[in-house]
Amino acid sequence: MKAPSPEPPVEAAPDVPAETEVSSSDGAADGTSVRGRSLGRIAWERLKSDRLALTGGIVVLLLVVVALLAPVLTGIVGQDPETHHEDLINPLFGTPTGSLGGISGDHLLGVEPVNGRDIFARILYGARISLLVGFLSAVVAVVLGTVLGILAGFFGGWVDTVISRVMDGLLAFPQLLFIIALVSVMPNDMLGLTGSSVRVFVMILVIGFFGWPYIGRVVRGQALSLRTREYVEAARSLGAGRRHILFKELLPNLVAPIIVYTTMMIPTNILTEAALSFLGVGVKPPTASWGQMLSRAIDYYDSDPMYMVVPGTAIFVTVLAFNLLGDGVRDALDPKGSR
Amino acid sequence: MLAYLIRRLFAAAVMLVVIVVVVFCIFFLVPRWAGVDIASSFVGKQADPAAVAAVREKLGLGDPIHVQVWEFFRGVFAGRTYAAGGEVTHCAAPCFGYSFRSEQAVWPVLTDRLPVTLGLALGAAVLWVVVGVAAGVLSALKRGSLWDRGAMVVALAGVSLPIYFTGLLSLAVFAFGLDWLDAQYVPLEQSFTGWLGGMILPWVTLAFLYAAMYARITRATMLEVLGEDYIRTARAKGLREHTVVGKHAMRSTMTPLLTMLGMDLGALIGGAILTESTFNLPGLGRAVLDATRNQDLPVVLGVTLITSLAVLLANLAVDVLYAVIDPRVRLA
C-alpha cells in the first residue's frame, strides 16, 4: 500500500453544489421564507468579519494601486528610479551622507549606496515587478493545475497515471535549482522582448510551471471524489455529455479550493521572484526589484543598514498581507468552518 | 518489506535518470531552441569558428544528447577516459567529469562542499523540528491563550520573511551591532567552536522559516486530532492527559509532519542556496549557483544528482518510518 499522502493544510471541499446551501438558522423557524445564500455570499460575510484578513486585503489593494500608480506617485515627489545622485554619497565609503541612509524631504526612504538612486522610487517600481510576477505566475500555475488536475481526476486510467507521475516528479525536483538553471540559460532577447522584460516573462512561465502540481494535486483529488457523487451521476443519467459534466458540474465545485490555493500561492511566488533577483538571475539592473536591492545590501549591512531594511520590509509587508488574506479566504471558504 | 524497498529503490533510480536527462535538456535543448550556441559562450564574443569547434570537441558538446547522457552515467559507475587534442586523461569512477570553467574534477568539489551543506541542513532541521513542533503543540493545547496568539503571530511573520532578509538582519544585529559572533565560516576540522560560532546564525535563520511553518501545521493538525473520537475514548478510560496528548494525539500529528519533513529536506537545497549566499558559506548551494551562472554543466549535474539522491533517500526513509508510526500503513 502506498503511504497516505500528506494532508494538505487546507481542505476546502464544498460538498454541496453551489447556490443550494440554505441557511436554516435564520428565517425558517419564525415562518418567514427560507432565504438561500450562495457559497460566495457566505464566504464574503465570513471574510468581512475577519479583521486580520480584511487588513491583509486592504494592504494588498493598496499595494496594487501603488504599483499601478508608481510613475504618478514618484512624479509627485519629483523622483525617478534611475537618476543617480552622486552628490549625496560619501565618496570615501560609498554610503549615503546624512543619517538613516540619506532620508530627507526629497528622498523619503533615502538613497542607494554608490550611485544614490532614490530608494522610494525604486521600491514603488519594484512593487510592479513583484506583483506582476506573483500574480501572473499564479495564473499560469492555476490554469495548468486546474486543467491537468481535472483531466487526471475525471478520466482516471492512464491519463491519471501519467499526470500524477509528472506531478510527483516535479514536486520531488529541487525546484529553486531548476528555476535558476532555466532562467540563466534563457537568451537575453526573444519573442521581440529585450532586457528585463525577457526575464520577467521567463520568470512568470518558469515559476508558474513549477507551481502547478500543488494546485493540480488538490484539484485531482477533489475531481476524483466529486465525479462519483450523486449529482454527477444524476446529470450523467439525464444524458449530460462530458463537456457539461466537466464545466457545469465539476468546475463550479472546484472553485473554492482553487481560490484558496491561488491566494496562498501568490506570496510564495513573490518570495521566489525576490529570491531569484537576490541571486542575480531575476530582472536585470537598472530595473528596480526588491530582491536585487537586498542582494546589493549584503555589502552594506554594517555601514548602511537602512538599505536592507527598506526592501526587506517591503517584501515582508507584501507577503504578510497576502498570507493574512489567504488564511482568511481559506477559513471563509471552508465548509467545515463554524462561524 | 524487502520487495517494497527494492521497488522504491528502482523507482528512485528511474527518477535520478529522469532528473539528469532534464538537466541535460535544460542546458542543451533550451539554448538551441533559443538560438544560442553554448560552445561559443566559452570562447568570448568575437571568437573564430575554429576556437569554438575546438571547445565543442573538448567538452564533448558535439555528440548527440543521448550519447552525452550515456557517457555521463558510464563515467559515474565505471570511470571515463577523455581523449581530446592528443591528451589522454583518465577519470576514475565515480567520475562526474571536469568543470567547464575551472577544469577541475567535479567529484572532489562535491565531496569538499557536501559536509558544509549537510551540516547546515541537519543542524537547521533538528532546530526547526524541535522548536516548531513544541511551539505548535503548546499552542494547540493552550488554544486562544496569550502564548498561542504570540506564537502564531511570530510564526506568521516567520513564513512571510525571506531567508536572506532575516539573515542580513541577524548579521547586522548579532555579528555587527552586538559583536557576539564572528560571522565567518570556519571548517569543522580546524576548530569546533569556530565552526559552531559561524554556523549558529545560518542555522537559526534557516530554521526560523521552517519552524514557523511546522508550528502552524502542528497546531492545526493537533487541534483536529484532539477533536477525534478516539481521544475522547482515551480520556474517558481515565488516561492521564499527557499520555493522551503525548502518545495518542502525537502519533496522528506526526504523520503529516513526517511527510513534510521528507519533502522539505529535499527542497532544502533551495534554502541552502539562499542561506549560503547570504552568509558566504562554501557549500553545495554556492557551488551550484556559481555553476549555473557560468553554464558549467558538469558541476550543475553533479550537485543536482547528489541533492536529488538526498531527496529520494529522505523520502524513502520517511515512507518506511510511516509504517513504524502508523500501524494502518502496510508496506508491501
How much is the pLDDT for A137? Answer: 93
- For residue range A192-244, list pLDDT tens digits in order: 666 677 788 888 988 899 888 888 888 888 888 887 788 888 888 888 788 88
Pairwise CA distance, residues A332 & B2, whole Å: 46
Side chain identity at residue A203, one-letter code: M
Q: In this predicted model, what pLDDT tens digit does every residue of A92-106 receive, in sequence order?
A: 777 777 776 667 767
Question: CB–CB of A177/A245 below 8 Å?
Answer: no
- Whether B169 shows a pLDDT value over 80: the answer reads yes
Residue B100 or residue A283, greater confidence = A283
pLDDT at position A286 is 79
pLDDT tens digits, B57-80: 666 666 777 777 787 777 777 777
In sequence order, what are the beta bridge partners of B321? none
Q: Pick the residue from chain A with its C-alpha nearest to B315.
A: A172
Q: Give tens-digit pLDDT for B261-280.
A: 877 776 777 788 888 888 88
Q: Do A6 and B260 contact (CB within 8 A), yes or no?
A: yes
A2-11, A59-68, A227-236, B267-276: range with lowest mean pLDDT: A2-11
Q: How many CB pairs under 8 A join A and B?
A: 155
pLDDT score for A144:
93
On the question of pLDDT at B183 being above 80, the answer is no
Asked if residue A10 lies in contact with residue A260, where contact means CB atoms within 8 angstroms, the answer is yes
What does the block give as the cell for A265?
500561492
Helices (H), chain B: 2-33, 38-41, 49-58, 65-78, 106-141, 146-160, 163-170, 192-226, 229-236, 241-243, 250-279, 284-293, 297-325
Using a CB-CB cut-off of 8 Å, the residues of chain B touching A171 are 263
DSSP state of B171: I
Q: What is the pLDDT of residue B201?
A: 86
Contact B162 A278 (CB under 8 A): yes
C-alpha angle B10-B12-B18 in degrees, rounded to nearest 5: 110
pLDDT of residue A5: 43
Q: Quote the CATH superfamily of domain B110-327.
A: MetI-like (1.10.3720.10)
Cβ proximity of A254 and A146 under 8 Å: yes
CA distance to partner chain B, nearest, from residue A317 (Å): 8
Partner A contacted by B41 (CB < 8 A): no
Which range is least confidently modeled, A277-281, A284-288, B52-56? B52-56
Contact B273 A177 (CB under 8 A): yes
The sign of the dihedral angle between the CA atoms of A286, A292, A295, A297 is positive
Answer whether B174 touches A (CB < 8 Å). Answer: no
Nearest Cβ partner of B256 from A1, A7, A172? A7
Q: Which residues of B, range 258-287, sit inside 8 Å of A by Cβ? A: 259-260, 263, 266-267, 269-270, 273-274, 277-278
Confidence tier at A18 by pLDDT (50, 70, 90): very low
Where exactly does CATH 1.10.3720.10 map onto chain B?
A: 110-327
Integer Cα distance of B200 and B178 in angstroms: 15
Q: What is the mean pLDDT of residues A77-97?
A: 73
CB–CB of A336/A151 below 8 Å?
A: no
Task: Quick: pLDDT tens for A112-168.
Answer: 777 778 888 888 888 988 999 999 999 999 999 999 998 888 888 888 888 888 887
Q: Would you say the pTM of this structure is higher than 0.90?
A: no
Q: Residues B214, B258: contact at Cβ < 8 Å?
A: no
B329 → closest Cβ in A1, A175, A278: A1
User: Of B18, B176, B326, which is closest to A301 when you measure between CB atoms?
Assistant: B176
Distance of CA B70 to the CA centre of its chain: 26
Q: Are B197 and B181 in contact (CB under 8 A)?
A: yes
Summarize pLDDT for B28-50 with one digit per residue, the tens. 776 666 666 666 666 655 567 77
**pLDDT, position A113:** 77
CA angle A325, A328, A332 (to 5 degrees): 135
Contacts of A331 (CB under 8 A, 6+ apart): A46, A50, A53, A337, A339
Q: How confident is the model at residue A317 (pLDDT cuts 50, 70, 90)?
A: very high
C-beta atoms of A316 and B176 within 8 A: no
